[in-house]
């Protein structure tokens, strides 16, 4: 077992519980001097100490693992592109509160820069984005919770036992569910009339989509106050962001209702996370299964921790959630070597990839295109690629890793968070020079690398 040095997190836990070193040492069955050495990273956390921490303080041992700081390090890499990997690791591991303060300052700087750019665009005659930051705030809200909302997940699972969302709407709330005429309001998936207590769903929806929309409305009617309470996270700084978060939370409830946690996790484990088989078993789409798989992080009964992403052909990322240390960059786009983009070349085919990040961490990715046919003639079809990724150490649990040599370092494709924050020295696909690095300009030489930089 790799030694675990997590002094800052251990000290933070003790301070959070208002304990003196003598008191915590007594709970852990060690001497105060030994605890002091662990807090100063002079000694690692042993297995007995980790187990005692879990028993005495209700802390998941994973809280003290290196993966606990992976997300923080990845975000710091974007905020401080000129800092070395060693410095970022030291900052995240030894001073996590300072690291989070740095990230908070970076977010305010990024927001202010975006607002200044929008104002400049308006001044110069451009339209300017209406609410550019609201969706980002909601994404940060779910990211901070590792894409798991336990309160809603447990309520949905309890309510879903043998029940239909439409029947519950009728029996508990007097809501009548009707089907709209074919072709009517083709842009809408759900329309609710509070006065008439009528929920209108379009005829084109599949049974799974229909149940999802009914469950979303059920969340608003049955758990409205809880949705409002949850949507007060510190990441949600505007009224519109809080409104969007309520919708996102209602959708989360709906996903947990149609794919109840226990039954779905059991099915996923039994089928080795075969997305197609799970979609067929539960009567939902490929994307819906991927999204739900990225939420299985219930304490004491976790599934594989996944990151989930949805992109279009232009590289726009319309959905991104992560229960892992993988961080989605906001600067410089994403990496063109990532297999989520290769999926567009083979529609409907599952693509796999072992991807290695600049910090040495490796991930296993599964990607496939999704989208439906146009509702009417002449309409533009929706086509996206969805990706589902986990740390490489979990890949053997997935059916998609069968036949692959996961231990062969040559199988890994080096990717990055985005060109502006990626420090790989010789990538021929680079679209922008790395931030904070001076370019090497020499009229007497030409290199394969688009933007050669100084060491």
Listed in sequence order, the residues at least 6 apart from 266 whose beta carbon sits closer than 8 Å to its beta carbon are none
Q: What is the pLDDT of residue 219?
A: 97
pLDDT bucket at 125, cuts 50 / 70 / 90: very low
Q: What is the mean pLDDT of the chain?
A: 84
Q: What is the pLDDT of residue 115?
A: 58
In the predicted structure, residue 368 carries a pLDDT above the cut 90: yes
Q: What is the pLDDT of residue 428?
A: 80
- Cα distances from 428 to residues 114, 293, 331, 339, 432, in angstroms, run 29, 34, 19, 16, 11
Q: What is the pLDDT of residue 376?
A: 67
Q: What is the pLDDT of residue 68?
A: 57
Higher local confidence (pLDDT), 124 or 357: 357
Distance CA 52, CA 29 (A): 8
Contact present, 257 and 163 (Cβ < 8 Å): no
Q: Average pLDDT in the 50-78 region?
A: 72
First and final CA of the chain: distance in angstroms? 35
pTM over 0.85: no
Distance CA 295, CA 324 (A): 11
In the predicted structure, residue 378 carries a pLDDT above the cut 80: no
Rounded to 5°, angle at Cα 329 from 327 and 334: 110
Distance CA 214, CA 168 (A): 9
Higher local confidence (pLDDT), 392 or 70: 392
In the predicted structure, residue 159 carries a pLDDT above the cut 80: yes
Q: What is the pLDDT of residue 325?
A: 66
Distance CA 170, CA 43 (A): 61
In the predicted structure, residue 126 carries a pLDDT above the cut 60: no
Tokens representing residue 341 in the block: 């983009």
Helix 96-123 crosses helix 7-16 at what angle (to 10 degrees)? Answer: 90
Higher local confidence (pLDDT), 18 or 310: 310
Closest CA to 305 of 271, 336, 265, 359: 265
User: Percent of the chain scored above 70 by pLDDT?
Assistant: 86
Q: What is the pLDDT of residue 443?
A: 83
In the predicted structure, residue 403 carries a pLDDT above the cut 50: yes
CATH architecture, domain 7-93? Orthogonal Bundle (1.10)
Q: What is the pLDDT of residue 289?
A: 97
pLDDT bucket at 66, cuts 50 / 70 / 90: low
Q: Give the torsion through C-alpha atoms of 219, 188, 350, 366, to 10 deg.
A: -40
Closest CA to 139 of 335, 272, 402, 327: 327
pLDDT bucket at 421, cuts 50 / 70 / 90: confident
Contact present, 8 and 94 (Cβ < 8 Å): yes
Distance CA 344, CA 387 (A): 12
pLDDT bucket at 158, cuts 50 / 70 / 90: very high
pLDDT bucket at 129, cuts 50 / 70 / 90: very low
pLDDT bucket at 130, cuts 50 / 70 / 90: very low
Among 104-113, 253-262, 336-345, name the most confident range: 253-262
Complete DSSP assignment for 315-346: --EEEEEESSS----SSS---TTSHHHHGGGS
Same-fold call for 7-93 versus 133-258: no
Q: Average pLDDT in the 7-13 region?
A: 80
Residue spans of the domains in the chain: they are 7-93, 133-258
Q: What is the pLDDT of residue 390?
A: 93
Q: Average pLDDT in the 160-187 region?
A: 85
Looking at domain 133-258, which of 1.10.10.2910, 2.40.110.10, 1.10.1040.10, 1.10.600.10 is its CATH number? 1.10.10.2910
Q: What is the pLDDT of residue 450?
A: 78
pLDDT bucket at 131, cuts 50 / 70 / 90: very low
Among 1-5, 88-92, 218-222, 356-360, name the most confident range: 218-222
Beta strands across the sheet bearing 307-311: 317-322, 307-311, 384-391, 362-370, 351-356, 412-414
Burial class of residue 262 in the structure, from the number of CB atoms within 10 Å of its CB (0-12 exposed, 13-18 middle, 19+ buried):
exposed
In the predicted structure, residue 314 carries a pLDDT above the cut 60: yes
Complete DSSP assignment for 49-83: HHHHHHHHH---GGGGSTHHHHHHHHHHHHH-TTS
Q: What is the pLDDT of residue 165?
A: 95
């Amino acid at each position: 077992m790799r030694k675990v040095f997590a002094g800052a997190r251990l000290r933070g836990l003790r301070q959070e519980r208002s304990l003196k070193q003598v008191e915590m040492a007594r709970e852990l069955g060690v001497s105060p001097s030994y605890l002091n050495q662990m807090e100063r990273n002079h000694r690692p956390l042993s297995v007995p100490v980790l187990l005692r921490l879990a028993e005495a303080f209700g802390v998941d041992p994973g809280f003290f693992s290196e993966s606990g700081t992976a997300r923080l390090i990845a975000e710091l890499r974007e905020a401080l592109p000129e800092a070395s990997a060693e410095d970022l690791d030291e900052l995240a591991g030894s001073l996590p509160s300072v690291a989070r303060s740095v990230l908070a300052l970076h977010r305010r700087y990024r927001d202010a820069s975006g607002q200044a750019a929008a104002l400049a665009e308006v001044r110069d005659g451009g339209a300017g984005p209406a609410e550019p930051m609201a969706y980002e705030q909601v994404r940060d809200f779910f990211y901070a919770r590792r894409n798991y909302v336990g309160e809603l997940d447990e309520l949905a699972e309890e309510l879903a036992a043998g029940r239909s969302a439409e029947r519950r709407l009728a029996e508990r709330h007097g809501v009548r569910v009707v089907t709209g005429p074919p072709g009517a309001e083709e842009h809408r998936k759900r329309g609710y009339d509070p006065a008439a207590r009528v929920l209108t769903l379009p005829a084109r929806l599949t049974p799974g989509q229909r149940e999802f929309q009914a469950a979303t409305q059920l969340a608003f009617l049955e758990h409205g106050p809880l949705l409002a309470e949850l949507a007060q996270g510190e990441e949600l700084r505007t009224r519109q962001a809080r409104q969007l978060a309520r919708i996102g939370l209602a959708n989360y409830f709906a996903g947990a209702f149609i794919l109840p946690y226990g039954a779905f996790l059991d099915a996923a484990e039994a089928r080795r996370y075969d997305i197609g088989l799970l979609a067929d078993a539960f009567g939902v789409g490929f994307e819906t299964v991927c999204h739900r798989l990225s939420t299985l992080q219930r304490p004491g009964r976790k599934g594989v921790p996944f990151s989930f992403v949805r992109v279009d052909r232009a590289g726009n990322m319309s959905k991104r959630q992560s229960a892992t240390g993988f961080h989605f960059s906001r600067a410089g786009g994403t990496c063109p070597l990532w297999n989520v983009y290769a999926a567009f070349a083979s529609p409907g085919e599952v693509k796999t990839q072992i991807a290695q990040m600049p910090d040495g961490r490796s991930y296993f990715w599964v990607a496939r295109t999704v989208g439906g046919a146009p509702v009417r003639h002449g309409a533009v079809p929706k086509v996206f690629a969805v990706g589902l990724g986990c740390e490489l150490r979990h890949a053997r649990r997935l059916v998609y890793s069968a036949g692959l040599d996961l231990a062969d370092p040559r199988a890994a494709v080096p990717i990055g968070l985005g060109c502006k924050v990626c420090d790989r020295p010789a990538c021929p696909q680079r679209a922008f020079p790395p931030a904070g690095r001076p370019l090497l300009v020499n009229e007497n030489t030409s290199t394969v690398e688009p933007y050669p930089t100084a060491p």
